[in-house]
Amino acid sequence: MKGRLFVISAPSGAGKTTLLKRVMAELPGLAFSVSHTTRQPRPGEKDGIDYHFISHDGFRRMIAAGEFLEFAEVHDNFYGTNRQSVMAQAKGGSDVILDIDVQGAEIIRNERIISAAHIFIAPPGLEELERRLRGRGTEDDSTVTLRMKNAEQEMTAASEYQYLMVNDDLGSAVNTLKSIIIAERAAAHRHPDGRGIELGLHL
């Protein structure tokens, strides 16, 4: 593969979606892996852009066919990454952003069949996370309580990631994530924009 995978996880409400949109708008050479999910679309979300929204039966058929690089059940819904789509993006030379939960990240990390940089985005604190969740106005009290419980569990997995960053200030977080991606590209002997570097020795 020419491109690199960036596995990015965060608790719901940590601001990951906004952060990724900013970084992808400012840094060339990135492609977003659109996951499949059985949950209902939120206001403003579009099928095929934010997620591929499918039924539980459709998701199970894809599992049976071995179409997922990883999949997991989160908040009573399934989420999964289409293997063929990711491989096609990476073979085309793009660095692929995988926005997946800690369960999916662990699957990719433990299988060791594909190289990826793992980044965990944490909120400034659990109180701020709850404030952000309630501020979205898309979940009722029971859903917020469930998401907070899951967030505490997800935070314990942060130490398993190669990089840990805190999304306190959006501008600073954007710069941090861009720096991580650029550093990974430099380690792979590529330009900051993702292009390959032709190395030659002239005597």
pLDDT score at 203: 40
pLDDT confidence of 45, banded at 50, 70, 90? very high
3-state class (DSSP) for residue 120 = strand
Residue 9 reports pLDDT greater than 70:
yes
Distances from the Cα of 40 to the Cα of 13, 43, 52, 53, angstroms: 17, 10, 10, 7
The pLDDT of residue 1 is 61
- Rounded to the nearest integer, the mean pLDDT of the chain is 90
Beta sheet of 116-122, edge-to-edge order? 30-32, 95-99, 5-9, 116-122, 163-166
Query: 158: which 2 tokens?
Result: 């942060």
Residue 180 has pLDDT above 80, yes or no: yes
> Comparing 15-19, 60-64, 118-122, which segment has the lowest mean pLDDT?
15-19
- Domain residue ranges in the chain: 5-187
pLDDT of residue 145: 86
Residue 146: CB atoms within 10 Å = 14
- The arithmetic mean of pLDDT across residues 34-49, rounded, is 93
pLDDT computed for residue 54 by the predictor = 97
Give the span between the Cα atoms of 55 and 78, in whole angstroms: 10
Q: Which residue has the higher pLDDT, 196 or 89?
A: 89
Question: What are residue 172's DSSP bridge partners?
Answer: none
Instruction: Report pLDDT digits (tens) over 71-128.
Output: 988 878 999 999 999 999 999 999 999 999 898 999 998 876 678 999 999 998 888 8
What pTM did the predictor assign?
0.85
pLDDT > 70 fraction of the chain, expressed in percent and rounded: 96
Q: What is the identity of the amino acid at 68?
A: F
* CATH class of the domain comprising 5-187: alpha beta
What confidence category does residue 41 fall into, taking pLDDT thresholds of 50, 70 and 90? Answer: very high
pLDDT at 167 over 70: yes
Mean pLDDT of 159-167: 95
Q: What is the pLDDT of residue 142?
A: 85
